[in-house]
């Protein structure tokens, strides 16, 4: 079956370092991947989308890569700050039609001052 997985449940890093989160997919080839941020007690908030023909996408201190050979997307936060502490979710859909998004279980990032 089609799966999207975030292997790390939790990640702790020091303030100022680059956080790297991983999202892997199996048994399908997504046309795109999305990344969301979720703070405790709140709904997820969209951050970035990367399409299969894009190797890299940037937004301020955020960078997302998409490697179709490795079947993987990496999400980077550079110069991390305690305010970046949250759960980050990746999501995708088997095709670009009007189909539901499937989410990974998320990685809880803690940035330690």
Partner 1 sequence: NAGVTQTPKFQVLKTGQSMTLQCAQDMNHEYMSWYRQDPGMGLRLIHYSVGAGITDQGEVPNGYNVSRSTTEDFPLRLLSAAPSQTSVYFCASRTSGSSYEQYFGPGTRLTVT
Which listed residue (74, 103, 108, 110) binds partner 1 by CB under 8 A?
103
Residue 16, token pair as written in the block? 């100022």
Which listed residue (19, 23, 86, 89) binds partner 1 by CB under 8 A?
89
In the complex, what is the shortest distance from the CB of residue 70 to partner 1, in angstroms, rounded to a whole number?
Answer: 21
CB contact at 8 A, 50 and 73: yes
Taking CB under 8 A as the rule, which mask of x and - marks residues 44-83 in contact with partner 1?
A: xxx--x-x--------------------------------
Count the residues of the shown chain that bind partner 1, applying the rule CB under 8 A.
27
Residue 25, token pair as written in the block? 């997919």
Which listed residue (34, 65, 73, 80) binds partner 1 by CB under 8 A?
34
């Amino acid at each position: 079956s089609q799966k999207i997985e975030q292997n790390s449940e939790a990640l702790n890093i020091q303030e100022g370092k680059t956080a790297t989160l991983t999202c892997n997919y199996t048994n399908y080839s997504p046309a795109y991947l999305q990344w969301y941020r979720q703070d405790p007690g709140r709904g997820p908030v969209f951050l970035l989308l990367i399409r299969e023909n894009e190797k890299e996408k940037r937004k301020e201190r955020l960078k997302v890569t998409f490697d179709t050979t490795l079947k993987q997307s990496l999400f980077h936060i550079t110069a991390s700050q305690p305010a970046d502490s949250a759960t980050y979710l990746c999501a995708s859909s088997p095709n670009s039609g009007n189909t539901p998004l499937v989410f990974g279980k998320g990685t809880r990032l803690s940035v330690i001052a």
